[in-house]
Structure 1
Amino acid sequence: MTAIRQVEKMTAGDFPALTVVAGEDVGQFSFLKEEVLRKIGFDPADLSMSRLDMRETPYAQVQEELESLPFFAENKWVVLDSFLDLTTGRKRFLSDEDLKRFEDYVQNPSADTKVLIFAEGKLDGKRRLVKLLKRQALLLETKQFKEKEFRSFLQEELRNRGWKLGADLQDVLLEKSMLNVSLLRQNLAFLEDYSNLATLTVEELRQLLPKTLQDNLFDLSSLLLQGKLEAARSLMADLRLQGKDDIQILALLLSHFRLFLYVRFLNPSTEANLVAELKKLTGISYNPYRVRFAQRDSQALPTSYLRKIYEKMIQTDYDMKTGLYDKAYLMDLLMIEMVQGLEQKN
């Protein structure tokens, strides 16, 4: 059972004295955090509930909240947000002495207080505090879904709603959700008011679901690589009207073409092996769908073209940030060079 499904079956009374919510999957973690807070009915105005950011709060204040008695209820809740000292991240916010004091509390928690610990990231199993929490606390840890697991999760969501969608429509939802639970829930929410799911087509579904910046990036890249300069210019104009900055869009394009080059030089036998090799090379967990699209879109492009455009993007990024010329003008020059490079290739 996933952590999400476990929490869905719980009530506020089911939470023990210590609960830890952690995980590297940002979508699942964000959704799980919201669901836990909803389950306990968290209200910042409720004096029996307190919420502390562990990146900013002096530990003395944390200790005071943990040890003080509830005044307005039989029990109280203490939410410890961003407890990053529990994770493998390098940044630390608490001293060794502070961590030792919290270890003492974990071994002898207050009977009148329920503590929720949110730690976005991978728990550091080598730390003594993490080992103690694994013994003493309820651990709700999100795991990165593989595509098959995410499909099963989607099918459970559909069954829970009493919906029947064909495999082709499920494929669109999977593609648009990019293995992100929060994004999947948002996409399903857009279908709740649709009157006739039974006759919904793939094209209608694509039109119904909102486009993310990542979707627009894929479209922009695809238009440029097809030589459709005017369509790409039109999309850039729409993105600017939506408040997107040229430097932000260029940064995403740079990341996109960097992945093209990684895919070109790493050519394992399977997609799963490629994702693993990318993580080993870069330290980044690439979304399998993003890797799949990169393989597809870069397949017919010469390595020399990819290198030339990537170098041009880096130069354009520098020129934008140093104010050499207007950002829109520099972006237009880049798009022209991308399309002209394709024409020369052919």
Structure 2
Amino acid sequence: MDVKAAIKAVKQGQISPVYLLYGTEKYQMNEFVSLLVEQTISKEERDFALVHYDLAETPLQEVIEEAEMLPFMVPRKLILVQDAAVFTAGKDYAKVEHRVESLLEYMKNPAEYSVLVFMVNQEKLDERKKVVKAIKSDGMLLSFMPLGSEDLLKWVGKKAKEHGCALEEGAAEIIIRNAGTQLQTLAAEIDKLCLYAGRGGVIRAETADQLIARSMEQNVFALVEDIANLRIDRALAIFYELLKQKEEPIKIAALIARQFRIILQVKDLAGQSYSQHQIASQLGLHPYAVKIAGEQARKFQAAQLKQILSRLGTLDYEMKTGAIDKVLGLELFLLKLAA
């Protein structure tokens, strides 16, 4: 079952006795846990019904004992378990000894009054392990991975609607490009924009661009975007703004090189018929970043990208050895790109 189906089931009161949540998208995972709390425990019962454990400090068998123990003064309890490394590959260097068979036994006859929720903030589980197979077949295994580019745009629009405001065409793109792809950050920025627009108001692309402060990485991302579209005046304006913010030119050059390296890698993998999600997984990037890099890649030949990276390598050496003034060196690099 996917996350959408699981959310629908929870809202209908169909609660699984055991959940295993994994993935790198913590915001969505926390939203799902909040929904479980709302649907299973009333506010006045939460002091007694909500139990937290960390497997870095507590043996798994103690968590199972808690699940089997009758709840005190409440009809049902929700047990949230963090750092569930027993479900992942590799060695577990924790000092706590876990008896995984205790969970396997528990799953054969889970308590009706307990809901166990294990949370693993990692991209993959070790599906060779018996416990993972058992939860996959008898419990509820849910993956919380970064949204695809189109889903991310829809998510931004949905969040704005929840706050009672609408987005002008193109505003969602600006919000993501300025704020980045982390859902927690995006949610905060959308909240701010909707407060500015007012209930029933419209968030315009220009407003989003003015109100969302870009991080260093997002500024470099925009700078490369301007270079790709031959908007050298705007690229230089971003560069000078970064200098005003006391950013180190060598660091700026390194981030520019990183972005061009990503563009070249995306171009190469796309040429081998890799999908957007496959490229994202291969390079460890968000699918939206891959989408934008793919759009930028179409504006360069592979040979051009290699030449740009070679120039950046030479520039890095000259800046670090004092052969050229750091600011002047970057200015000349940007002007040569425009030419």
SS of 1:118's partner is strand
Uncovered stretches (5+) of structure 1, i.e. residues with no partner: none
Q: Is the 8 A contact 1:169 1:202 kept in 2?
A: yes
Distance 1:112 1:314 in 2: 65
- Do 2:52 and 2:81's aligned partners in 1 also have CA atoms closer than 8 Å? yes
* 1:272-296 superposed Cα distances (whole Å, 9 cap, x missing partner): 63653464xxx33422332344355
Amino acid at match of 2:189: N
- Give the structure 2 partner of residue 256 of structure 1: 259
Is 2:144 aligned against 1:142? Answer: yes
1:238 aligns with 2:234: no
Output one character per residue of 1:53-92: Cα deviation in whole Å (capped at 9) or x when no partner. 22343345434433444344343332111313324x5353
Q: State the superposition RMSD in angstroms.
A: 4.5
Residue 136 of structure 1: CA displacement?
2.7
Matched, 1:339 2:331: yes
Measured in 1, the distance between the counterparts of 2:117 and 2:167 equals 37
Give the aligned residue type for 1:340: L
Partner of 1:115: 116
Q: Deviations over 1:6-43 (max 9, x none)?
A: 53784696533222222344553344345545655799
CA contact (8 A) 1:16 1:137 kept: yes
2:308 to 289, 305, 308: 305
Do structure 1's residue 20 and structure 2's residue 23 form an aligned pair? no
Q: Which amino acid aligns with 2:211?
A: L
Matched, 1:216 2:219: yes
Query: What CA distance in whole angstroms lies between the structure 2 residues aligned with 1:314 and 1:30?
Result: 45
Aligned residues: 326
Gaps of 5+ in 2: none
- Call closer, same or farther: CA 1:116–1:260 in 2, change over 3 Å: same
User: Matched residue of 1:110: which SS?
Assistant: coil
Q: Which moved more, 1:154-163 or 1:220-229?
A: 220-229
Among candidates 187, 190, 196, match of residue 189 of structure 2 = 187
Q: In the superposition, relative to structure 1, how do residues 207 and 80 fare at CA in structure 2: closer, same or farther (>3 Å)?
A: same
Measure the CA separation in 2 of the matches of 1:129 and 1:56: 20
Distance 2:42 2:327 in 1: 51
1:302 and 1:341 map into 2 onto residues whose CA distance is 14
* Partners of 1:34 and 1:53 in 2: CA distance: 18
1:53 is aligned to 54
Contact persistence 1:23–1:122 (CA under 8 A)? yes
Structure 2 SS opposite 1:104 = helix
Identity of aligned residues (%): 18
Equivalents in 1 of 2:216, 2:43: separation in Å?
32
1:62 corresponding residue in structure 2: 63
Q: What is the CA–CA distance in structure 1 between the aligned matches of 2:64 and 2:261, rounded to whole Å?
A: 46
What TM-score comes out, normalization by structure 2 length?
0.71
Is residue 20–residue 142 contact of structure 2 (8 Å, CA) maintained in 1? yes
Equivalent-residue separation in structure 1 for 2:241 and 2:208 (angstroms): 23
Specify whether residues 208 and 295 from structure 1 end up closer, same or farther in structure 2 by C-alpha distance, changes over 3 A only: same
CA contact (8 A) 2:163 2:194 kept: no
How far is 1:303 from its partner? 1.9
CA–CA distance in 1 between the matches of 2:289 and 2:168?
A: 23
Matches within 5 A, 1:76-95: 76-87=77-88, 89-92=89-92
TM-score with structure 1 setting the length? 0.70
**Cα drift, residue 203 of structure 1:** 0.8
Provide the C-alpha distance between the structure 1 equivalents of 2:310 and 2:31, rounded to a whole number of angstroms.
Answer: 39
* Alpha-carbon spacing, 1:210–1:111, altered in 2? closer, same or farther (3 Å): same
Match of 1:29 in 2: 29
Residue 129 of structure 1, CA deviation:
1.0
| Separation of aligned partners in 2, 1:7 and 1:313 | 50
In the other structure, the counterpart of 1:294 is 293
Task: Summarize the alignment of residues 318-333 of structure 1 with structure 2, pairs less than 5 Å apart.
Answer: none
**SS of residue in 2 equivalent to 1:46:** helix
Pair 21,57 (structure 1): closer, same or farther in 2 beyond 3 Å: same
Q: Which amino acid aligns with 2:332?
A: Q
Amino acid at match of 2:331: V
Query: Which amino acid letter does the alignment assign opposite residue 208 of structure 1?
Result: L
